[in-house]
Amino acid sequence: EIVLTQSPGTLSLSPGEIATLSCRASQSVSSNYLAWYQQKPGQAPRLLIYGASSRATGIPDRFSGSGSGTGFTLTIGRLGPDDFAVYYCQQYSSSPYTFGQGTKLEI
């Protein structure tokens, strides 16, 4: 089973700043089958990025994904008030399709 470790656990930033979130895998994620999700309180998660770097439909270009193998990054540029949420990475290259433990982005 691939274990995903996200860092930091909590990231405190201000609106307008840039956020960099990390997701490290215990073994290589083949074909870069890595996705990122955003979850706000009381809501279902929302897909942001798939294939490590492809934005999902309707996701603004302030959100970008990068990385390969065992190291992946989600970058959020020019943080807006709506971006403060919990972010999860997920690998879907090898069943079980595991999630990271999440990074809370707070003001």
Partner 1 sequence: EVQLVQSGAEVKKPGESLKISCKGSGYDFSTWWIAWVRQTPGKGLEWIGIIFPADSDTRYSPSFQGQVTISADKSLSTAYLQWSSLKASDTAIYYCARHNYLIDWGQGTLVTVSS
Q: Which is nearer to partner 1, 8 or 15 (CB)?
A: 8
| Residue 67 interacts with partner 1 (CB under 8 A): yes or no | no
Q: Which is nearer to partner 1, 37 or 84 (CB)?
A: 37
Q: Report, in Å, the least distance between residue 80 CB and partner 1.
A: 22
| Dist CA 68 CA 93 (whole Å) | 12
| Dist CA 57 CA 66 (whole Å) | 17
| Dist CA 12 CA 7 (whole Å) | 12
Among 19, 21, 37, 76, binds partner 1 (CB under 8 A): 37
| Residue 100 interacts with partner 1 (CB under 8 A): yes or no | yes
Residues with Cβ within 8 Å of residue 72, at least 6 apart in sequence: 22, 23, 24, 25, 29, 34, 52, 65, 66, 89
Using CB under 8 A, list all residues that contact partner 1.
Answer: 1, 33, 35, 37, 39, 44-47, 50-51, 56, 88, 90, 92, 95-102
